[in-house]
Structure 1
Amino acid sequence: MSTLHVLSHSPFADSRLSSCLRLLGHEDAILLCGDATYAVTASTAARQALDAKADSLKLFILEEDAKARNLVLPDWVSRVDYPGFVELSVQYDKVNTWL
């Protein structure tokens, strides 16, 4: 069963991202939105954790939030808009929002 994990909180404020990465199944994906998009900031522990899993990680980022924060995205990250977010929500069996 596949799960889309949605994170919106800054990776610098708590351990949601690292907990999510530990629990991630092989069919799962992560969508970063809001302040969670800061996880792709170069030279940070969050980015290093994502880079370490880049070969097997399905990582999506809400493009509007990344643009609002002027972030440079790695090539291996998939950008989605709001309709893409909805599409992902129905593509996966479950959606888990990390509140």
Structure 2
Amino acid sequence: MTLHTVNKTPGESSALKDCLASLSDGDALLLIENGAYAAMPGYAIHFTCLPGSIKCYVLLADAQARGLQQDQNPDFQSIDYDDFVALSCQHDKVVSWF
């Protein structure tokens, strides 16, 4: 199982597209920094084909810093830094996409 972090919006790079193409059952996706914008409902189309076993998260501090926490896609769970560390420890590896 892998934790994938994405720190860019789909408009900034192909990181999200590349990440989504490499996800496997049991992996998790965490949007951080500007990647938090992808948790907005307007980007939901990117996540419609994900297997149900993929868990999606957004770092709350980054969403709050960008004023996004109230409009986020309900498929994303907001987590704090302690949760980020716990996710990193729960997964076999962490892959950062940028």
TM-score class normalised by the smaller sequence: 0.7 to 0.9
| Structure 2: gaps spanning 5 or more residues | none
Conservation of the 8 A alpha-carbon contact between 2:24 and 2:54: no
Name the structure 2 match of 1:12. Answer: 11
Q: How far off is 1:41 after superposition?
A: 2.4
- TM-score where L is the length of structure 2: 0.87
Q: What is the CA–CA distance in structure 2 between the aligned matches of 1:39 and 1:20, rounded to whole Å?
A: 13
Q: Which residue identity does 1:24 align to in structure 2?
A: L
8 Å CA contact 1:6–1:98 kept in 2: the answer is yes
**Runs of 5+ consecutive residues of structure 1 not aligned to the other structure:** none
Deviation per residue, 1:28-86 (Å, 9 max, x gap): 1111000001112233xx43112443744310100011111111112221111001100
Residue identity over aligned pairs, in percent, reads 35
**Match in the other structure for 1:25:** 24
- Compared CA separation, residues 57 and 24, structure 1 to 2 (3 A): same
Q: For structure 1, which segment, 67-76 or 2-11, has the greater mean C-alpha deviation from structure 2 after superposition? A: 67-76
Counterpart of 1:23, as a letter, is S
Structure 2: how far apart are the matches of 1:57 and 1:12?
23
**Aligned partners of 1:54 and 1:76 also within 8 Å:** no
Aligned pairs, number:
96
Extract structure 1 runs of 4+ deviating beyond 6 A.
none
Alignment of 1:32-47 (within 5 A): 32-43=31-42, 46-47=43-44
**Pairing of 1:77-88 with structure 2 (within 5 A):** 77-88=76-87
